[in-house]
Amino acid sequence: MPKKATKGLEDMFLDGLKDIYYAEKKILKALPKMAKGAESEEVAAAFEKHREQTEEQVERLEQIFDSMDKPARGKTCPAIDGIIEEGSEILSDYKDAPALDAGLVGAAQAVEHYEIARYGTLIAWAEQLGMKDALQLLRKTLQEEMETDEALTKLGEQGVNERAMQEAA
Ligand code: FE
Ligand code: FE
Ligand code: FE
């Protein structure tokens, strides 16, 4: 009980860092599966591009752990496990179906939105804690997540959603 009472914002920040570190590593494994499963080349290319960005995002988090003299360690994030599980369901339930890519784009956007929520909060806490270097790294990643989200929206608008309207052959 007394130990809990001393937990402050820095502990919360570190826990949040572990959560997103776990999530990013999980996403790193999921993206190639989604790219491989995607029907269209554009969708596959978008997933592949973001996989490369994700590798750098993992490294940025490791830099932040390092700057805090903490080991880079993930903490199970049930939210990302669930979101990725839903993506896998799309892959199996819509295999070879016209709506597959629309579903995959939607699943990927759910991942980005989770990340955007988490990075937004970490940025606010890093500001409060005066962690200037961490702030810069987190902002860079947030920017990439937002750009990815927008790119996915455009993919949907540029034909993926329309193709999903076709009846299965
Ligand atoms: Fe990410
Ligand atoms: Fe989480
Ligand atoms: Fe992302």
In the CATH hierarchy, which fold is given to the domain comprising 9-168? Ferritin (1.20.1260)
- Compute the distance from residue 109 Cα to the ligand 1 centre, in Å: 11
Give me the residue spans of the domains in the chain. 9-168
Instruction: Write a three-state SS string for the chain.
Output: CHHHHCCCHHHHHHHHHHHHHHHHHHHHHHHHHHHHHCCCHHHHHHHHHHHHHHHHHHHHHHHHHHHCCCCCCCCCCHHHHHHHHHHHHHHHHCCCCCCHHHHHHHHHHHHHHHHHHHHHHHHHHHHHHCCHHHHHHHHHHHHHHHHHHHHHHHHHHHHHHHHCCCCCC
pLDDT at 115: 98
- Compute the distance from residue 96 Cα to the ligand 3 centre, in Å: 25
Per-residue model confidence as pLDDT tens digits over 61-116: 999 999 999 999 999 999 999 999 999 999 999 999 999 999 999 999 999 999 99
- Compute the distance from residue 49 Cα to the ligand 2 centre, in Å: 23
Decide if pLDDT at 169 tops 60: no
Per-residue model confidence as pLDDT tens digits over 113-166: 999 999 999 999 999 999 999 999 999 999 999 999 999 999 999 988 888 888
- Compute the distance from residue 153 Cα to the ligand 1 centre, in Å: 17
